[in-house]
Amino acid sequence: MCCFFTILVFLGPRIAAPLWWLVQPTRWSLAFNNNILWPILGIIFVPWTTIMYVLVAPAGVTGWDWLWLGLGLLADIAWWAGGGFRKRVPGYTGQY
């Protein structure tokens, strides 16, 4: 799990999730009921939510698990919306 977090930090969720899928395919099969379409779409469009779902789904999504899924979804929304916000800031030139 330590290597997974290192990959996640340095390369991002879209690289870490497939590598985690290769390392622990049983966990992913339990989370998505042996369906391959949903994890692939999740990694492409909502990678943080997919990672959180794989963490909480094998034991069943109840109670505080919904909070973790919500945080994953919030991270995905922030990632998708973040680029557009920078372009609308007055005086932002895009150079450092």
Instruction: Kindly report, residue by residue over 48-70, the tens digit of the pLDDT.
Output: 999 999 999 888 888 898 999 99
Kindly state the DSSP code that residue 63 receives in the 8-state scheme: T
Phi-psi category of 6—alpha, beta or left, where left has phi over 0 and alpha has psi -120 to 50?
alpha
Average pLDDT, the chain: 83
pTM of the model: 0.75
pLDDT at 30 over 80: yes
Q: φ, ψ for residue 56 (rounded to 5)?
A: -100, -25
What pLDDT does residue 48 have? 92
Mean pLDDT over 40-52 rounds to: 92
Query: Is the Cβ–Cβ distance between 69 and 56 less than 8 Å?
Result: yes
